[in-house]
């Protein structure tokens, strides 16, 4: 699977209609959708589709024709995301109507083509599923855990308590396995796992 970490755009014209297509991370979808509505008040349609992975590793898909005939616009955009193996990504296509109707087949080709155009322009990245691990580290072990995370290029959020801190770190499966091998030896010294990634349940 692949994903994107920034916003990409492309433009195409078909029979006088202009199609502005955008590919972006799912985290930016809602905000960017509102920006497009504000920036393009005269656009005939703003069609969209997205694919995302939930914490149970299930793929969630959604799409909208935004007033175009059913199945002629949102679905071709979704199919473009599927075809590229994209996850945690959204595509939006703004259409300015040029006065010539494209017909059902023409709309499918136009929207699918607009979505594929911006996907082909994008720098696609390998997708890694990450999940948050929450754990308690007493002050006596802080330096050891800081050193380990620095070596692994991982960052932690910390909430300090009287005798230590509650840490939150995002891990992929390989990173968590390495962390578990390091950390579980300190449980006798008051280190404790508080919440673990779903993919790590087999260890516990």
Walking along the chain (204 residues) 10 residues at a time, the average pLDDT comes out as 96 96 96 97 97 87 97 98 97 95 95 98 90 95 97 94 95 93 96 91 74
The hierarchical CATH code for the domain 2-126 is 3.30.230.30
pLDDT given for residue 91 in this prediction: 98
Please provide residue 180's backbone torsions phi and psi, each rounded to the nearest 5 degrees: -60, -45
Fold of 131-200: Alpha-Beta Plaits (3.30.70)
User: Residue 204 in 3-state DSSP?
Assistant: coil
Please, what is the end-to-end C-alpha distance for the chain in angstroms? 28
pLDDT given for residue 129 in this prediction: 82
Q: Go through the chain and tell me how many residues it has.
A: 204
pLDDT given for residue 54 in this prediction: 85
User: Does pTM top 0.75 for this prediction?
Assistant: no
Query: Which residues are CB-contacts of 106 (< 8 A; sequence separation ≥ 6)?
Result: 14, 15
Alpha-carbon gap, residue 70 to 107, rounded angstroms: 11
- Contact between 135 and 145 under an 8 Å Cβ cutoff? The reply is no
pLDDT given for residue 5 in this prediction: 93
pLDDT given for residue 60 in this prediction: 96
- Residue spans per domain, the chain: 2-126, 131-200
């Amino acid at each position: 699977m692949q994903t994107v970490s920034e916003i990409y755009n492309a433009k195409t014209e078909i029979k006088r209609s202009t199609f502005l297509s955008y590919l972006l991370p799912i985290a930016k979808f809602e905000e960017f959708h509102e920006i497009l509505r504000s920036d393009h008040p005269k656009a005939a349609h703003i069609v969209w589709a997205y694919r995302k992975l939930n914490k149970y590793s299930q793929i969630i898909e959604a799409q909208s024709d935004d007033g175009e005939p059913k199945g002629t616009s949102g679905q071709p955009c979704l199919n473009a995301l599927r075809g590229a193996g994209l996850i945690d990504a959204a595509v939006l296509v703004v259409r300015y109507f040029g006065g010539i109707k494209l017909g059902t087949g023409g709309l499918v080709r136009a929207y699918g083509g607009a979505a594929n155009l911006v996907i082909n322009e994008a720098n696609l990245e390998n997708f890694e599923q990450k999940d948050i691990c929450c754990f308690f580290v007493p002050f006596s072990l802080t330096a050891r855990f800081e050193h380990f995370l620095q070596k692994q290029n991982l960052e932690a959020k910390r909430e300090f308590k009287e005798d230590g801190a509650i840490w939150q770190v995002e891990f992929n499966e390989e990173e968590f396995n390495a962390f578990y091998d390091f950390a579980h030896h300190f449980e006798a010294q008051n280190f404790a796992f508080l919440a673990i990634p779903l993919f790590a349940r087999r260890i516990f």
